[in-house]
Each structure stands twice: as C-alpha cells, then as structure tokens.
Amino acid sequence: MASIGNWFRVVQKEKDRLSELESDFEYRQRWITIRLVYFSGFLMFLSFGVVTTGLWPYLQDMDPMVEKTFLGIVFAAPPAGQLIFSPLIGWCSNRLSSIRVPFVLLTALFVFGNGLYSVVELFPVPSRKYVLLLSRFLFGISTSINTLNRAYISTATKLSERTGAISMSSLAQTLGLAVGPIIQATLSTMGKEGFMWCGLRINMYTLAGWICALVGVIFVIFLNPSCFVHRTIAAQEAMKTIGSSVATDTYEPLQLFSIWTIMIGYGVLMFFYVSVQTALSPISLDQFAWSHEESLYYLGLLMTGGTLCSCAVYLLLPKLCKRFQEHNVFLFFAILPLFISQLVMIPMGSKAIPMSALSYNNSTTGGCPSKQEWCNYIPPINDYQLTISYTMLCISFSVGIAISQTILSKQLGTRPQGNWMALYTSIGGVMRIAGPASVVVYVRFGTYWLFGLGTAVSGVVLVWMWYYKQYLRTTKKSFHTAEAQQMTVSET
C-alpha cells in the first residue's frame, strides 16, 4: 500500500535521492510530466478503441452504398497521417528544448478530428464518406504524439526505470483500448436514431466522438507550463557513470542488425493486430449474422475482455522481465501468441455460414452476402475461436509494444532518440496502412486464405526470431558499474 501511495504522491525513493542526480522537486516534476505522457497514450487509444467497433456500421449509415473496400481505406487513413508527420515530429523533438507546444498542437488536432467525425451527417450524402475519411486522417496526424511519447520516456527515465515506465505507458494505451469498446458498447443502447440537440444528431456513433473530443479538451488544460515540465535524466546518469561532462561521450556504437530485427518484429505485430481489428466487424456481421447493434455490443465485450487480459500481463511485466530476459519475453509472450491467434481462427467443421438475402452486406441484420461466393463452401468461425484468438492477439500486441520499445530504447543508449522513434512509429504506420488490406483478402478469398496466410507468415517470423534471438539481448556495458554501485547503496 505504501508503494501505491508513493506512486500517487510522486515521492522520490531514498536510493534515488542518494544518486544526487536530481532534487525531490525535480523528481516530482519529471514524473508528473511522464504521467501526463502516459495519459496522452491512453487518450489516443481510447479514440481508436471507441471508433473501431462502430466505424463500419456508422459508415454504412452515412452512405448506404459504400462498399467494404472503402472501409479499408478509412482504416488506413490514420496511419497514413501518422506516417507522413511522425518523421517531422521526431526531428523537432531532437531540436526543441521542450515538447509541450507540439503536445498542445497535436491534442488540439485530436479534438478537431473527433468533432468532425461526429458531425458527418451535416454534409451531403455523397460527401459524407470523404468527410469521415478526412476526420480519421486528422486523427492519424494527432497520433504522431506517440513519437514524442516514446522519445521522451527514453530520455526522461533512468536505465533502471525504463522497462517499468514503458510498461506503464503501454498499459495506459491498453486501458484506452479497453475503455473505448466499453463506451461504444454502452452507447449502443441509444441506437442509431438517438436524438437531436442544437441541430446535431446525438446517437451511439456521434456521442462516442464527442466524448473523445471532450476528454481531449480537458487534457489540453493539464498541458499548462506548471504541470508539464520537460525534464530529462538519462544522459546525466550516463555521464555520471563514466565521469564525463560531455553527453556524446556516453554514446555507444549502434548494432543496426539488432535494431532492425526488433523493428521488424514490432512491424509484424502491428500488421496482424490492425489486420484483425479491421476485419473484425465485417467478419462478425457475416459469420454470426449479427445486427449492427449486436455487433457493437458483443465486439465491445470481446475487445474489453482481451485488453483487460493484456492489462493483467502488463502488471506482471516488470517482474517477468526480472525473471526472464527481455528478448525471451518478446519471443514467447508476443510472437508465439501471435502465431496461436492466427492458427485458431482457421475455420473447422461442416456447418454453413448464415447467408444474407442481399448481394452486398448493406442490411442491418447481417449474414454473408451472396456476392462472396466462398461463403457457400467454407464453414463459419465459431465464437470460441474468435474469443481465444482475440485474447491471444491482445496479449501479443500489448506485450510486443512494451518490450520492443524497451529493447530498442536500450540498444540506442543515451543519444537523442527522436529520429529513431519516428522511424519506429513510421514502421507501425506503414503496417497500419497495409493491415486493412485484410478486408480485401477476406471479401474476395475468405477466411481460409486470410488466416491461413496469417498462420504461415507469423510462423516464419516466430522461427526467424527464435533463431536470431541472441541479437535482441539488451547490453548495458558501461552501465554495469552504475547498477553495481546502486545495489551496494541499497544494501547498505
């Protein structure tokens, strides 16, 4: 209980005070800012979680003639915005004395994007899908704040704090994914008609966007200079360890093969996570013949359960990394669950998929449309497969984000990491653009091809990561002395 109290009071531990790297006041400032950085991750993933389950039915309501392939384009818009602007944000973070102004600007853009998402109905029907696409693109630009998050945490934490801080950052993001579907599932009781207020329709889709915008406005208030103070410590710790007053003396040679290995692993995790997230709503409508309201409700429960499971893993992650080396945690708690999540989704049995009477799945009752000819001979996915697969996927993705970023940060050392973290984020953006192509594979070829290919690719990655896992070891070299000194101080 005392440790929980210290977490909320932001009290410096005695062993940290003895290091003489910062005063109690500076320690408090640094950790308040880090926790605001945590919340920004929660905010971005909250919006993503809210919109994911409702995007397809909302898109259909705004334009009944829209096809599933356009859904893939809409899902690709946020990562496209992130991909374009992340390098610029990373470049700026290495040169600005504080990241507070970019934080405020990107959060304001987040508010505007979610507000635009909620007023799509005000535009003519032919333009609505493009307005919705623009709103998601603007949201994607705002998620470039994740580049700032990663770069800042890497420089604002000591080496001994790094894994825990990144785990908490990822936990905040996962909680956003958990709370988002809960909000959307709760709002599903309003239905799509909702009510009119000041000329705006407030229903289960638009209210979700307004809630995200309101939380964004509140967050901007907390980004005032008295709360958000840019303060770093990683370079000071390294300089004290080697007895140097020049930060560049602490830089170690980059192990490029190791860096690219972990980035590729992260990219694969991101690709499959986005792939399943994009296809989840169409799959549920086709395979289970759910209505739009049922789809929102049950997928909300499914996504919440999966992310809560991930949260439990996050709470154990720092202790897990003390017991097992980080590269083994990445391999067996991220890549292996990814492979299992794809394997269990391969359809089995002899039952027939429920069919829709329409050629296109534009009805509100669900069922596989007759245009998808593979529905006539491929058995349906059952609810047990979907539950197990999604739970494993959430664990894989959440652990993979935390550990891959931890390993990358330690491999980069004390050098400014804005450009590298921008590259890391951009790889995720590319995968998030490519991931929605799963909808095309699903519509044209069916679940055998979608999850059969997923199993094959993730299996190859699993074997490759296992073979080269020694390259993912995090070496501390010059920091061994510092850790030994720290242990001696704590023992005395």
- List pLDDT tens digits, range 335-385: 999 999 999 999 887 788 887 765 554 445 567 887 888 888 888 888 889
Domain 22-248 adopts which CATH fold? Growth Hormone; Chain: A; (1.20.1250)
pLDDT of residue 492: 36
Q: Tokens standing for 453?
A: 């290919």
pLDDT of residue 135: 93
What is the spatial distance between Cα 334 and Cα 471, in angstroms, rounded to a whole number? 17
Q: What is the pLDDT of residue 486?
A: 41
Q: Any bridge partners for residue 433, and if so which?
A: none
Please report where in the chains the tokens 């986005």 appear, as a residue.
274
Q: Are the C-beta atoms of residues 284 and 298 closer than 8 Å to each other?
A: yes
Helix (H) or strand (E) holding 488: helix 480-491
* 38 sits in which H/E element: helix 24-62
Backbone angles phi, psi at 38, to 5 degrees: -55, -45
Report the alpha-carbon angle 437-439-396, nearest 5.
75
Instruction: Report the alpha-carbon distance of residue 250 to residue 239 in Å, rounded.
Output: 6
Kindly state the average pLDDT of the residues 399-403: 85
Note the pLDDT of residue 190: 79
Distance CA 227, CA 5 (A): 20
**What per-residue confidence (pLDDT) applies to 223?**
92
Tens digit of each residue's pLDDT (9 = 90 or more) over 232-263? 777 777 777 666 666 665 667 788 888 888 99
Give the residue with greater pLDDT, 460 vs 295: 460
- Looking at residue 97, its pLDDT comes to 78
pLDDT at 266 over 80: yes
What is the DSSP code (8-state) at residue 332? I
- Tell me what the mean pLDDT of segment 25-30 comes to: 85
What is the reported pLDDT for 77? 87
Are residues 341 and 329 in contact, defined by beta-carbon separation less than 8 angstroms?
A: no
pLDDT digits (tens, 9 = 90+) for 202-227: 888 888 889 999 999 999 999 999 88
**DSSP symbol at 65:** T
Per-residue model confidence (pLDDT) at position 481: 38
Determine whether 222 is exposed, middle or buried from the number of CB atoms within 10 Å of its CB (0-12, 13-18, 19+).
Answer: middle
Coil, helix or strand at residue 378: coil
DSSP 289: -
Give residue 477's pLDDT.
43
**Averaging pLDDT over each range in 146-155, 192-201, 481-490, which range is the top one?**
146-155
| Identity of the residue numbered 451 | F
Cα separation of 285 and 302, whole Å? 14
103: nearest Cα among 92, 118, 114: 92
Query: Hey, what are 303's tokens?
Result: 């996504």
H helices of 243-381, in order, are 256-288, 292-323, 326-330, 336-343
Q: Inform me whether the pLDDT recorded for 483 exceeds 60.
A: no
Architecture per CATH, domain 251-355+366-473, reads as: Up-down Bundle (1.20)
Enter the DSSP assignment of 245.
S
Task: Tell me the mean pLDDT in the region 64-70.
Answer: 80
The DSSP secondary-structure symbol of 345 reads T
pLDDT value at position 242?
A: 66
CB 174 within 8 A of CB 310: yes
Check residue 379 and report its DSSP letter: P
Decide if 22-248 and 251-355+366-473 have a common fold. Answer: yes
End-to-end Cα spacing for the chain: 24
For 341-360, b where at least 16 C-beta lie within 10 A, e where not — what string? bbbbbbbeeeeebbebeeeb
More confident residue, 307 or 54: 54
Q: Name the DSSP class of 200.
A: E
Round the average pLDDT of the chain to a whole number and report it. 81
pLDDT in tens, 90-139: 888 778 778 899 999 999 999 999 999 988 888 888 888 899 999 999 99
> What is the Cα–Cα distance from 197 to 190, expressed in whole angstroms?
14
Where do the structural domains in the chain lie, given as residue ranges?
Answer: 22-248, 251-355+366-473
10 — phi, psi (to 5°)?
55, 65
In the structure encoding, which two tokens stand for residue 49, read together?
């979680």
